[in-house]
Structure 1
Amino acid sequence: MSAAPKAEANRISTLLNHAFGPNRFPVDVEQVARDYSKQISPESYITDIKPIPMDGFEGCLKAKPDRSKWMIAYNPDQGSQGRSRFTLGHELGHFVLHRNLQQTFECTERDLYDWDSPFRQMESEADIFASYLLMPLDDFRAQLAPGNELDVEVLRHCRDRYGVSSMAAALKWIEIAPRRTVVVAVRDGHLLWARSNDRALKSRCYFAASKQTIAVPPESLLAKSEECGQSGQWTTHARIWFPNEPHDMPMSETAICIDNPAFPYVLGILQMPEAEFHWTSSSEEDEAMFPLTGMQW
């Protein structure tokens, strides 16, 4: 069994805080990978980090046949430096958590959709590690307004502070969001991907976007933002997205246009007040835990 990804990332953050102080962001993942891997595994650590531009490739961690050295390779053409930084953190997570389990870590579409696969479970753990390494929760919480509320400007501030993508910052925020919250990615009028926080999931507010095609409601802000290319925020009715919600249930809808040359999309944040919880099935929980690895943004 691998070590807990949050605990391992927090251990590194503690060391970085002592060495560089609270304003040490964004994390220099390449330097951390070289130094920390040697500290915890002096007989076999990361010596090389190489950019390899290749279509369909994000990153990998690979050991020499005799395991004397390890290498991280990543695609520098993923659309943003934030995405590349997350990929580096993800591969470092594999080294810290899983290096004794295998000596090559690569992603395949088949493994990502197979929840029973040990590979997919390791991918989720590596994503969690990268998220906590790049955006420690205590520092992230300190960037937010009282009540842990989020708006477009705060999201951009967190994105820039940690050197990550807007999507990564939004997914970190929903861990502490005070309301039922769903983060979605939209392109060509359909959901590409969705993640619900625990509060939303327990009230059955989620989208199985990886299993079926889901159209964006035409009256939603996200649909309008995709048409005009402008970000914004407004309050509307939750039933636009979730028909089973009460007629008077309000929803705050935030749309952020991501102008990524490699993969433009609209990031949406849907927020609702609390409601009566209904426990979900295990398959619904699996959908909410779908890892970031393999996503283009």
Structure 2
Amino acid sequence: MTNQTNSNTPYPDYALAQYSAYQTLVSSNLYELPINIKKLIRSYGIHIQTYADFAKDCHISMDNVVFMCASEDGCTMKRSDGSYLLLYNDLIKSKGRIRYTLAHELGHYILKHHSKNNKIKISRGNFLKNLDKLEYNKLEQEANYFAKRFLVPLPIVDKIVTKLNFIDVPTLINIFGITQQPANYIINELSKRKNRIYSYKESYQLSLKFQNFIAKHYNNKTCLSCQYNYEITSNFCPICGQNFFIIPDFKNTTLSNLLRTTNSMNYPTLNLDAEGRIKD
């Protein structure tokens, strides 16, 4: 697979977006889920600032920041010294939505959208007058695809599905720190794909990178007294000494919902057969 793309074509290069997302994770110093996206962004020398802090520093209103960024979510600016500033709206209540915005903006940077198109500012979710509409749509779709594959890498989903023999929307939300919409997207994609075969070598490297975390995460139990996670073979919590614990059972959707939220919702679930294939 090549990591080059023709910037003159109006069509999004989804293969490049996926390759770049996976390689960004492979080359990172991150080994746990959900992905610590702010840590990774800062490792590239990108300065991250909230809308509120930017407004305070510049002595302007939040409305002016939104107007300047042309987005209620976030934007990335290439400054005159060649450095990058990523702004995001910290007043948005959904942490999953903020994480997606950060991943989206990181996608613009990794895919070199600013350099290829010589644009100073690219915003999420709004068409900018200084961009051709086709060009803007291409950049946005590539950044969106990067964000999806970066936050929820399918090779890692496959590892978790193999471990649990099951996957559903609440589990994806909990493990990857995303919102319901991208979680539904992953479930639908897995339903259509119905296989777990990957040919790209970076996918194999990505699976190896997170295998220790996955093995440890799903062989622990949680103390209900102090919330400490400890080995499933231990009879007592090493922190508080209690033996009142719970072993995560992600097949019990009702239980996992109660542990995460007081809202009761119905979600699609995927189950596997004895050979690891998604059942019809």
Q: TM-score range by the shorter chain?
A: 0.5 to 0.7
Amino acid corresponding to residue 145 of structure 2 in structure 1: I
Aligned residue for 2:274?
Answer: none
- CA distance in 1 between counterparts of 2:157 and 2:179 reads 14
Q: Provide the TM-score with structure 1 as the length reference.
A: 0.50
Instruction: Give structure 2 stretches of 5+ with no counterpart.
Output: 1-5, 8-12, 53-61, 64-70, 195-262, 270-279
Distance 1:156 1:147, change over 3 A: closer
Q: Residue 232 of structure 1 corresponds to which residue in structure 2?
A: 266
Quick one: distance in 2 between partners of 1:137 and 1:164?
Answer: 14
1:177 equivalent to 2:191? Answer yes
Partner Cα distance (2:40, 2:122) in 1 = 19
Contact residue 75 and residue 84 of structure 1 kept, 8 A: yes
Query: Structure 2: how far apart are the matches of 1:67 and 1:173?
Result: 43
Deviates more, 1:138-147 or 1:81-90: 138-147
Which of 14, 33, 37 in structure 1 is aligned with 2:41?
33
Residue in 2 that maps onto 1:15: 27
Distance 1:81 1:174, change over 3 A: same
State the AA in 1 paired with 2:92.
Answer: Q
Matched residue, 1:88 = 102
Amino acid at match of 1:59: G
Which one of 50, 57, 73 corresponds to residue 72 of structure 2? 57
User: d(CA) in 2 for partners of 1:7 and 1:93?
Assistant: 11
Distance in 2, matches of 1:110 and 1:13, equals 29
Q: Give the corresponding residue for 1:5.
A: 17
How far apart are residue 175 of structure 1 and its match? 2.3
> Could you give the per-residue CA deviations for residues 102-150 of structure 1, whole angstroms, max 9, x where no partner exists?
2210246456xx9952111111110111111111111112333799875
- What residue number does 2:210 align with? none
Higher normalized helix content (fraction of residues): 2
2:30–2:36 CA contact under 8 A, matched in 1? no
Match of 1:249 in 2: none
1:141, 1:148 within 8 Å by CA — same for their partners in 2?
Answer: no
State the AA in 2 paired with 1:74.
Y
Would the aligned equivalents of 2:127 and 2:133 in 1 still touch at CA under 8 Å? no
Equivalent pair of 2:127/2:136 in contact (CA under 8 Å): no
**Distance in structure 1 (CA, Å) of the matches to 2:165 and 2:193:** 10
Q: What amino acid is the match of 1:106?
A: S
Cα pair 2:173 2:183 within 8 Å, conserved: yes
**1:99 is aligned to 2:104:** no
**Contact 1:60 / 1:106 at 8 angstroms: preserved in 2?**
yes
SS in 1 for 2:189: coil
Q: CA deviation at 1:160?
A: 1.2
Instruction: Report matched runs for 1:129-140 at 5 Å.
Output: 129-140=146-157
Per-residue displacement from partner, 1:39-60 (whole Å, max 9, x unpaired)? Answer: xxxxxxx2x1011154661000
Counterpart residue number, 2:219? none
Distance in structure 1 (CA, Å) of the matches to 2:190 and 2:120: 35
| Deviation, structure 1 residue 168 | 1.5
CA pair 49-147 structure 1, distance change in 2 beyond 3 A: closer
Work out whether residues 105 and 124 of structure 2, in 8 Å CA contact, stay in contact via their aligned partners in 1.
no
Write the distance in 1 (CA, Å) between the matches of 2:107 and 2:162: 30
Give the TM-score, by structure 2 length. Answer: 0.52
1:127 counterpart = 2:144: yes
SS at match of 2:27: helix
> How high is the sequence identity, in percent, across the aligned residues?
23
Q: Which residue identity lines up with residue 149 of structure 2 in the other structure?
A: Y
Q: Secondary structure of the residue that 1:173 maps to in structure 2? A: helix
The CA distance in 2 between the partners of 1:70 and 1:77, in whole Å, is 22
- Residues 183-224 of structure 1: CA distance to partner in whole angstroms, max 9, x if unpaired? xxxxxxxxxxxxxxxxxxxxxxxxxxxxxxxxxxxxxxxxxx
For 2:233, the equivalent position in structure 1 comes to none
Would you say the 8 A contact 1:61–1:71 is kept in 2? yes
Say what the alpha-carbon RMSD is for the aligned residues.
Answer: 3.3
Bigger strand share: 1
Indicate the SS of the match to 2:23.
helix
Alignment of 1:109-188 (within 5 A): 109-110=126-127, 117-144=134-161, 150=167, 154-178=168-192
Secondary structure class of the residue paired with 1:117: helix
**Structure 1 residues 232, 159: CA separation in 2 closer, same or farther (over 3 Å shift)?**
closer
Q: In the TM superposition, what is the alpha-carbon distance from 1:30 to its structure 2 partner?
A: 1.4
Bigger Cα Rg: 2
